[in-house]
Amino acid sequence: MGSGRTWHDRHVGYLFVLPATLMLVAVLVFPAFITLKLSVTPEGGSGWNLTLIHYQKAFRDPVLFQTFKNTFAFVAWSMVGHFVLGLALALALNQALPGQTVFRLIALVPWTIPDVVAGIIFRWVLNPINGSLNPLIRMLFPGFPAEFQWLSSPTLAFPAVIFANVWRGYPLVMVMLLAGLMAIPRELYEAAAVDGAGKIKRFIHVTLPGLSMIILIALALDMVWEFRRFALVLTMTGGGPGTLTEVLSTLVYKTYFQFFTFEYASAMAILMSAVLFVLSLPYIILVGRER
C-alpha cells in the first residue's frame, strides 16, 4: 500500500498543478519564444537568419549599463521600504486596537490607485511651482525654500521616485505579512511567555520563524514585480533628469514602442529576465525545499 500511495500522490500532484501550467504555457510561453527569436533576428529581417548582434550592442551600450545600475538600486530600495513599512504596519495592525479596521483601510489606499495616476499625481505634488508638497513643508518649517526642486534635482529625483514607489507597493507586503501573522497560533506566544521570554525574544523565536516562508515569498515576488514596474516611473519622470531614473522596464518600453527597434528591445528584455532569474534562484531553492 505504501508504494501505491506514493505513486498516486505523484499522479495527483500533477493534476493539481495542471490547469495553471496549461494556462501559462498557452498564453505566455509562445510570446516568450517569439521574444527570444526576435532578439536573435537582424533588424527588420525575418526567417531563421540568426545573429547575436543585438546582444553585442547591448554589452556596449552605456545607457543600458546605467539603466541596469538604476534598476538594481530602484528594486533594492523599494524592497527595503516595502518590507520595513509592511512588517511594521502588519505588526501594529495585528493587535486588538480600537479603530483597527479604519487604519487597515487607510493603509490599503495607496495600493488602490493605479500606477499611471499615482505617477501623475506625485509629479504634480512635487512640482516646485504648482505642487502641494512644498507649501505643506513651509507651513511646518518656514525657512524651507519656496520653489524647492525635487524631480528636477539630480540628487533628489531618484529618492523621490523611491518615495512614490514605496507608497504604491507597501500595502501588498503588509497584507501578505498580516495574513501570515494571523496564522501563528496564540499558544506558541503563550508558551514562550511562560518560559520567561520577553517581547523581543518572542518576536525573534516565535514570530519570525512562523513568518519565514511568507517573508521569503513576499521578498521574491516583490523583487520580480519591482523589476517590472514601469508606468509609475514613466509618468513621474520619464527617466529623467537625463537617465538618472531610467529603469529597465521603461527603457524596454521606449525601445520597443518609441524607437521601433523591436529586436533590440527583445534582447534587452531577455537580458533582464536572465538577470532576474539568477537573482531569484536562492528564493526558488529555499521555497522549494522540503520542510
Partner 1 sequence: MKGAAAASARREHRLEAVASYSLLMLAALYALFPVAWMLSTSLKTEAEALALPIRWIPQRPTLQAYVEMWTLKPFGTYFYNSIVVSGVTALLSTVVGALAGYGFSRFQFRGRTSLLAFFLATQMISGVLVIGPYFQILAAVELYNSLTGLIIAYVTICLPFAAWMSKGYFDSIPKELDEAGLVDGASRLQIFIRIICPIAVPGTVSTLLFAFLLAWQDLLWALCLISIDEKRTVTLGVAFTVGEFIVKWPMLTAASLIGSLPTILLYLFLQRFYVEGLARGAVKG
Partner 2 sequence: MRQRSRWWVIAVLAIGLAVVLAGPAAAQVKIRFQTWHWNEKPVFYALEEFMNEFNKNNPGIEVVRDDSRYNDKETVYIAQSQAKAAADIAHFQHRAIPLFAERGYIMDLTPFIEREGGQKFLAQWDQHALETCKYKGKIYCLNDYVNPLALLYNTQHFKEAGLDPNKPPTTPAELVDAAKKLTRAGRYGMGLIGSRQEGLFMRFNPFFWGAGAEYLTPDNKRSALDTPEALEGFRFYVELFTKHKVVPPGVIEQGAQEVRTQIAHEIVSMEVGVIQAPLIYAAINPNMKVDEVMAAAPIPSGKKRVSSVEYGMRVISAFTKHPEEAWKVYKAWVSKDVQLRNFKIYGVMSARLDVKSSPEIANNKFAKIFAAQAPYGKIEPLIPEWPKIGDATITAVQEGFSGVKTPEQALKDLHIATNRALGVQ
53-82 residues in contact with partner 1 (CB under 8 A) are none
Confirm or reject binding of residue 118 to partner 1 (CB under 8 A): yes
Confirm or reject binding of residue 210 to partner 2 (CB under 8 A): no
CA distance 107 to 118: 15
The distance of closest approach from Cβ of residue 99 to partner 2 in the complex, given in angstroms and rounded to an integer, is 38
The three cell numbers locating residue 86: 509592511
**How would you class 153 by CB atoms within 10 Å of its CB: exposed for 0-12, middle for 13-18, buried for 19 or more?**
middle
Binding marks (x or -) toward partner 2, 51..90, rule CB under 8 A? ----------x-x---------------------------
Confirm or reject binding of residue 200 to partner 1 (CB under 8 A): no
Number of residues that bind partner 1 (CB under 8 A): 110
Q: What is the DSSP letter of 42?
A: P
Tell me which residue of 175, 165, 162 sits closest to 105, measured CA to CA. Answer: 175
CA distance 208 to 289: 18
C-alpha distances out from residue 207 to 59, 175, 204, 212, 220, Å: 45, 16, 6, 8, 20
Q: With respect to partner 2, which residue has the nearer C-beta, 90 or 231?
A: 231
The distance of closest approach from Cβ of residue 79 to partner 1 in the complex, given in angstroms and rounded to an integer, is 15
Q: Which of 42, 45, 114, 242 binds partner 1 (CB under 8 A)?
A: 114
CA distance 238 to 236: 6
Binding marks (x or -) toward partner 2, 130..149, rule CB under 8 A? x----------------xxx
How many C-beta atoms lie closer than 10 Å to residue 133's C-beta? 16
The distance of closest approach from Cβ of residue 153 to partner 1 in the complex, given in angstroms and rounded to an integer, is 19
CA distance 206 to 192: 8
> Which range of residues in 72-80, 120-128, 186-194, 265-273 is near partner 2 by CB under 8 A?
120-128
Rg (CA), the chain: 24
152 makes contact, choosing from partner 2, partner 1, none, with CB < 5 to 8 Å by partner type, with partner 2
Q: Which positions lie near partner 2, rule CB under 8 A? A: 44, 61, 63, 123, 126-130, 147-149, 151-154, 237-244, 254, 256-261
